[in-house]
Amino acid sequence: MRAIRAALLAALAVELVSGASVRALLIDGPEWQPQTAALKAILEASDVLHVDVLTVPPKGNAFEPAFDRYKVIVLNYGGDGWSLATIAALDKYLQGGGGLVLLPAADAAFPAWTEYNLLLGVSGAPNRDQSAGPILFYQQGKMAADSDMKGPAGQAPHPDQPFAVTIRNTEHPVTKGVPLVWMHTADTLAGDLRGPGKNMLLLATAHSDMERGGTGRDEPVMLALSYGKGRVFHILLGRTPEGMACVGFQTMLSRGAEWAATSKVTVKMPSDFPTEEKTSTRPVKSAP
């Protein structure tokens, strides 16, 4: 009992010192742990979130997070399925108003869980086929679908050049006040995205250059979704170390996480946010 009380007091002390008032749980797996230190640092940099980290054990054994202790769950995991009890607990948490942030690794998680595809909206993971939904993309001012295209989701040019991100919803709390077009550092831009696309607001896109092996379409890169009373922010950027170092990615991840947790955004736009002409980077922590 003394040890538990001491741990709680230590956690409270961290929040008081940092000013963070929103508790977040970052869930990773062994394959994604090299990104964890950087993601935790990015999320805590705004002093809004205090982030705990939980690593899923092999095969999801004995994995029963206390989701209801947190305002938002950040999922950087795409490995083995979880027990039905854990999936049901996450579903209940979200239906009741919990927040969820889905990072690129999470696109590949839970292919057999139908409701999870609703949480994603779209996925670029190769374990999603036509049963996950049509190919979805942005065209002529709205979302469009190709229901005839066969094959798995996922096509991406080599991540060797920066590309422009275009904001498509200027009134959503996450994107309000964000420059309409800004340059993202070299990153993997997923295309041929599949999903149901329901209860989904498109926040931003990026053009996948056909001359560089892309789809030739404007691909979704940021989404806001609703699930019951819950809020979901899905960001498809930050697949490479260079992509994670982008100030644009870092800022949008922080803003999206705060929105998912609270429905509001207080994270300010930094002075070094990228412009339409130039990228902007900040060093991020690497795995110890």
Domains and CATH numbers, the chain: 10-262 (3.40.50.880)
User: Cα(77)–Cα(107) distance, rounded to whole angstroms?
Assistant: 8
pTM of the model: 0.91
> Going residue by residue through the chain (288 aa), what tens digit of pLDDT does each one get?
343 233 333 343 333 334 568 999 999 998 898 999 999 999 999 899 999 999 998 775 678 999 999 999 999 999 888 999 999 999 999 999 999 999 999 999 999 899 999 999 999 999 999 999 999 999 999 999 999 999 999 987 778 899 999 999 999 999 999 999 999 999 999 999 999 999 999 999 999 999 888 999 999 999 999 999 999 999 999 999 999 999 999 999 999 999 999 999 999 999 999 999 999 999 987 655
User: Cα(127)–Cα(18) distance, rounded to whole angstroms?
Assistant: 40
| Alpha helices for 235-286 (secondary structure H) | 241-244, 247-262
H/E segment holding residue 223: strand 218-227
Q: What pLDDT, on a 0 to 100 scale, did the predictor assign at position 74? A: 98
Whether the Cβ atoms of residue 230 and residue 99 lie closer than 8 Å to each other:
yes
Query: 47: alpha, beta or left, given left = phi > 0 and alpha = psi -120 to 50?
Result: left
Burial 200-220 (b: 16+ CB within 10 A, else e): bbbbbbbbbeeeeebbebbbb
What separation in angstroms does the CA of 156 have from each of 42, 60, 143, 193, 216? 25, 30, 19, 10, 11
